[in-house]
């Protein structure tokens, strides 16, 4: 056998791992988009497109001509979709995928992921302004308002979970996903803290449609008002890149919620119920399938149901919802976690 230097072996493993993560995020992200469309259609008593439709859409766009508006700033207009896609992919290497630890893990992972999740939205804003379209300009302005609105409750949830873990003795590891997953919040709170954790969970679930610009928080795109807004002038490969970035971001956001609130695997429960020792590799497969099931359920509950049950709200109402209502919910949840610590 070849004697491969340790540094080369690490580089090969990292490269193969990054490719595997990228392929999973792309493929499963598009599947999640297809499931969301199908569930949304069924809830409206329609047949809806097949789950594989997003793959067809991306393939069609990749073959179509990319049209650049006459008034666009071409360099920014063309690079914005690449930046959005690259940032979404970068988030994935810091997230745990079911039983598999993050590829990159450093102190402060939670804060880094929080910042990286902003970049795809910022790229869309920059691309919208660079397109020179009045519709895209309005959409970019709305997207900035939306970003400012949902970042407060989202950051409150993440910091509260990390603070709770740090209070339990994890110290700086509380801001890493490995630390958070080893300290499930539901196992370390009393009755008061459990109510606070439920409020924080509700907060992040309401934040997800805003992060994904889905109804009722899709004012930046609003096809019936501003013809697609941010993406009104995008076509061909550029639009395909934005669609892929959105699919990957869907996986990233769902994985974030799972890591914070539902980090458990299924294998320990099966071993306890069946009173058997499950092979390590089989256990990984079971837990990974369980993780994908959790992702599907999360998207259906947090995205498909709200966009079917509610209509689009105005941009000023978005700020009111996120800052006054959802933000207040998050702060009450944080307070109850603090109170729970005092009671214990």
Rounded-to-integer distance, Cα 250 and Cα 117, Å: 11
Q: What is the largest CA-CA distance in the chain?
A: 68
Q: What is residue 2's predicted lDDT score, i.e. its pLDDT?
A: 47
The pLDDT averaged over each successive group of 10 residues in the chain (344 residues) is: 59 78 92 92 89 92 86 87 91 87 76 87 88 83 85 87 76 73 81 88 90 81 72 86 92 92 85 80 88 93 88 83 88 86 58
Q: What is residue 83's predicted lDDT score, i.e. its pLDDT?
A: 92
Q: What is residue 172's predicted lDDT score, i.e. its pLDDT?
A: 60
Q: What is residue 110's predicted lDDT score, i.e. its pLDDT?
A: 82
Establish how many alpha carbons lie within 13 A of residue 155's alpha carbon, considering only the half-sphere containing its beta carbon.
Answer: 13
Backbone φ and ψ for 100, nearest 5 degrees, come out as: -95, 130
The pTM of this model reads: 0.90
Distances (CA, A) of 29 to 26, 54, 85, 240: 5, 10, 12, 13
């Amino acid at each position: 056998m070849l004697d491969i230097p340790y540094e080369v072996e690490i580089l090969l493993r990292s490269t193969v791992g990054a490719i595997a993560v990228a392929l999973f995020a792309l493929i499963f992200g598009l599947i999640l988009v297809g499931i969301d469309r199908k569930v949304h259609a069924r809830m409206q008593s329609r047949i809806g497109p097949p789950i594989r439709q997003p793959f067809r859409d991306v393939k069609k766009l990749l073959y179509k001509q990319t049209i650049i508006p006459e008034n666009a700033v071409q360099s920014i207009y063309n690079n914005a979709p690449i930046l959005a896609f690259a940032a979404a992919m970068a988030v994935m290497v810091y997230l745990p995928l079911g039983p598999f630890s993050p590829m990159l893990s450093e102190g402060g992972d939670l804060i880094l992921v929080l910042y990286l999740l902003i970049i795809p939205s910022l790229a869309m804003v920059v691309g919208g302004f660079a397109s020179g379209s009045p519709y895209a300009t309005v959409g970019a302005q709305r997207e900035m308002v939306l970003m400012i609105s949902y970042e407060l409750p989202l950051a409150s949830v993440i910091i509260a979970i990390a603070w709770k873990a740090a209070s339990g003795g994890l110290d700086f590891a509380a801001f890493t996903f490995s630390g958070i997953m080893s300290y499930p919040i539901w196992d370390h709170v009393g009755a008061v803290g459990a109510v606070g954790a439920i409020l924080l969970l509700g907060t992040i679930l309401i934040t997800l449609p805003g992060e994904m610009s889905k109804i009722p928080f899709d004012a930046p795109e609003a096809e019936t008002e501003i013809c697609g807004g941010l993406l009104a002038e995008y076509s061909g490969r550029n639009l395909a890149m934005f669609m892929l970035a959105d699919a990957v971001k869907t996986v990233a956001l769902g994985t974030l919620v799972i890591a914070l609130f539902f980090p458990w695997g299924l294998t320990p429960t099966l071993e306890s119920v069946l009173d058997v020792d499950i092979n390590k590799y089989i256990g990984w497969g079971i837990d990974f399938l369980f993780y994908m099931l959790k992702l599907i359920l999360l998207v259906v509950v947090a995205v498909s149901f709200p966009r079917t049950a509610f209509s689009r709200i105005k941009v000023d109402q978005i700020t009111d919802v996120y800052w006054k209502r959802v933000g207040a919910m998050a702060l009450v949840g944080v307070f109850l976690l603090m109170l729970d610590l005092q009671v214990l």
